[in-house]
Amino acid sequence: MNILALFIGKCLAFLGKLLGRGSSLPGYAARKIAPDFLSAFHLPPKIIMVTGTNGKTSVTKYISEFYKDAGLSVVTNEDGANIVQGIATSLIKKATMDFVVQGDVCVLEVDEGFLGTISKEIVPQVLILTNLFEDQLDRFGSAKQLAEKMASSLPENTVLYLNGNDPISVYFGELVPNKKVYYGLLDAEAGTYKSANCPKCGEVLNYSGHFYDHLGTFHCACGFKHPLLDYKAEQIQGASFLLRQEAYEAPDSPLYMIYNSLAALSYALDAGLRPERLKKVLREVVVGKGRKEKVLFNGKEGFLNLVKNPAGANLTLDLIQKEKEAYQLYFAVNNRYADGLDTEWFKEIAFEILEATPIKGIYLCGEAADALAKVIIKKLPSVPLKKGEGENVISQMKETGLKSYFLSNYTMLAKTKELLK
């Protein structure tokens, strides 16, 4: 059945290419024919998976580029399709009819909700976990529940690289016997943050340093605490930081980019890649795909950023609140399955931090625009708010001539990028 599944998948992929449409249909169809289809592939001997709530696309890109710079052939799901049928589609396109996927190393971005399913069929030597925030509660449950689900099906021989500043990632590490490598910060300028409960006993965690959302240096009376860090970024100045006495520069200055860089570097240094080459790649790498992607609109440079949970949204607003020039904000939101059906997370977005900035208007589009509008009206009642179809919203924004920032969740991202062409 695997051969038939691969043949059907390749036919559907070819048809999609002819029609100019990319989708995960080839992988979906193949798995309907052969449910354990992924296990049939002969992948490169080294397999690294990257998962987590935020940052997994960037970390996957960094590690892939590190290896390419070292002269190795990399197999990766560069289109960002990270659920099981998306990864199956990516491998269908790359494999021979003998299920061989040629390459020296395989670096896969994996949706945290599908990690158990995928790692049963493709066993990684390394798993890099960026963080676990509350995200799409209707899909995942709480971050703690997700950590427990991930731990229940993790292969025991997989080496884990974990964010030591994230209580939920540390909790995940304590649930499994795997070898663990911790990375993180010891000090940083705080962004928008919130208290968190201990994942072991439920009491409020104590923080000696709080960096953003629930990330920081923490401890609890029950004994749960921040681990010793194997890799720690120090002397952070903008995008620059020290790591094991070497100076590095992240692609940009937001704190989450320091974390993404640190996650990738921790693995790369353990893998024996040369620091001087890693520095060069980090300076030059471009992730794109709505990850703080530069946008020239009305003749002025802003950015487009994917936001899909309160932590990511608040980090983005932390950046925007530093703006001194008059600007406008676009926010495109749906509430489809890939986004999370529940829109309650909108209430945790700290729009109020923009009150003192020169914001001149907010423009909303998408199926969940009404729900988001109710939140914004309460938190920023003095800022003009407009809703409409994407084309109309962009047209109105062009008339203002203002600098613009664009935020979008998953299923509105492609449409937003199309509107900005």
Residue-wise pLDDT tens digits, 255-278:
889 999 999 999 999 999 999 999
270 and 353 assigned to the same domain: no
More confident residue, 238 or 160: 160
Query: How distant, in Å, are the alpha carbons of 144, 192, 235 from that of 259?
Result: 21, 16, 14
Asked whether residue 236 is domain-assigned, the answer is yes
CATH number of the structural domain spanning residue 365:
3.90.190.20
- Share of residues in the chain with pLDDT > 70 (%): 98
Is the pLDDT reported for residue 187 higher than 90?
no
Comparing CA positions, the residue from 396, 392, 390, 401 lying closest to residue 300 is: 401
β-sheet with 293-297: strand ranges across:
293-297, 300-306, 403-408, 327-332, 359-365, 385-387
Is the pLDDT reported for residue 18 higher than 90?
no
100 and 57 assigned to the same domain: yes
Asked whether residue 13 is domain-assigned, the answer is no
129 and 217 assigned to the same domain: yes
271 and 358 assigned to the same domain: no
Predicted pLDDT at 359: 98
Domain end residue (candidates: 284, 301, 320):
284
88 and 215 assigned to the same domain: yes
pLDDT tens-digit readout, 53-64: 999 999 999 999
Domain end residue (candidates: 284, 312, 342):
284
276 and 297 assigned to the same domain: no
Structure tokens at 391: 């084309």
CATH number of the structural domain spanning residue 179:
3.40.1190.10
Is the pLDDT reported for residue 148 higher than 70?
yes
Is the pLDDT reported for residue 140 higher than 80?
no
252 and 341 assigned to the same domain: no
Q: Are strands 74-76 and 46-51 parallel, antiparallel or unpaired?
A: unpaired
Q: What is the mean predicted confidence (pLDDT) over 85-100?
A: 95
Ramachandran category for residue 378: left, alpha or beta (phi over 0 → left; psi -120 to 50 → alpha): alpha
Give the pLDDT band of residue 139 (cuts 50, 70, 90): low
Predicted pLDDT at 138: 59
Query: How distant, in Å, are the alpha carbons of 141, 171, 175, 193 from that of 148?
Result: 11, 9, 7, 24
Asked whether residue 385 is domain-assigned, the answer is yes
pLDDT tens-digit readout, 212-234: 889 999 999 999 999 999 999 99
pLDDT tens-digit readout, 365-378: 999 999 999 999 99
Write down the mean pLDDT value for the chain.
93
What's the predicted TM-score (pTM) here?
A: 0.90
Domain membership of residue 302 as a residue range: 293-419
Domain end residue (candidates: 284, 301, 322):
284
Asked whether residue 66 is domain-assigned, the answer is yes
Give the pLDDT band of residue 80 (cuts 50, 70, 90): confident
CA 116 vs. chain centroid, Å, equals 18
In the block, tokens 């995008």 appear at: 239
Comparing CA positions, the residue from 252, 254, 230, 234 lying closest to residue 242 is: 234
Predicted pLDDT at 254: 81
149 and 199 assigned to the same domain: yes
Predicted pLDDT at 1: 87
121 and 195 assigned to the same domain: yes
138 and 270 assigned to the same domain: yes
How many independent structural domains does the chain possess?
2
How far is the C-alpha of 340 from the C-alpha of 246, rounded, in Å?
41
Predicted pLDDT at 190: 67
Is the pLDDT reported for residue 332 higher than 90?
yes
Comparing CA positions, the residue from 351, 405, 348 lying closest to residue 377 is: 351
377 and 415 assigned to the same domain: yes
157 and 223 assigned to the same domain: yes
Asked whether residue 25 is domain-assigned, the answer is no
Is the pLDDT reported for residue 420 higher than 80?
yes
Asked whether residue 34 is domain-assigned, the answer is no
Query: How distant, in Å, are the alpha carbons of 177, 224, 360 from that of 174?
Result: 8, 10, 48
Asked whether residue 210 is domain-assigned, the answer is yes
Comparing CA positions, the residue from 250, 195, 202 lying closest to residue 222 is: 202
The answer to whether the CB of 314 falls within 8 A of the CB of 321 is no
How far is the C-alpha of 163 from the C-alpha of 267, rounded, in Å?
12
Predicted pLDDT at 136: 66
Instruction: List, in sequence order, every residue forming a beta bridge with 293; answer none if it has no partner.
Output: 304
Asked whether residue 354 is domain-assigned, the answer is yes
Predicted pLDDT at 127: 98
The answer to whether the CB of 314 falls within 8 A of the CB of 191 is yes
Predicted pLDDT at 137: 61
